[in-house]
Amino acid sequence: MAKEIDRRIIQDLLDNGVDFATTVPCKQLAGLIEVLEETDAIKHVPCNKEDEGMGLCAGAFMGGMKPVILMQNTALGVTLNSLATLIQFYQIPLPMIISYRGEVGEPVACQVEMALHTKALLSQLHIPTYHFHNATQVEELPGILKHCQMCSKPVAVLTDASFWGSAK
Q: Which residues bind another protein (CB under 8 A)?
A: 20, 43, 45-49, 51-65, 67, 81-82, 84-86, 89-92
Residue 38 or 90 with smaller CB distance to another protein: 90
Residue 64 or 107 with smaller CB distance to another protein: 64
CA distance 86 to 58: 8
Identify residue 101 by its one-letter amino acid code.
R
* Least Cβ distance, residue 75 to another protein (angstroms): 13
Beta strands in the chain (DSSP E): 20-23, 43-44, 67-72, 94-99, 129-132, 154-159
φ, ψ of residue 64 in degrees (nearest 5)? 105, 5
Pairing assessment for the beta strands 94-99 and 67-72 based on DSSP bridges: parallel
* Least Cβ distance, residue 66 to another protein (angstroms): 10
* Least Cβ distance, residue 151 to another protein (angstroms): 14
Residue 2 or 78 with smaller CB distance to another protein: 78
Residue 60 or 158 with smaller CB distance to another protein: 60
The answer to whether the CB of 70 falls within 8 A of the CB of 29 is: yes
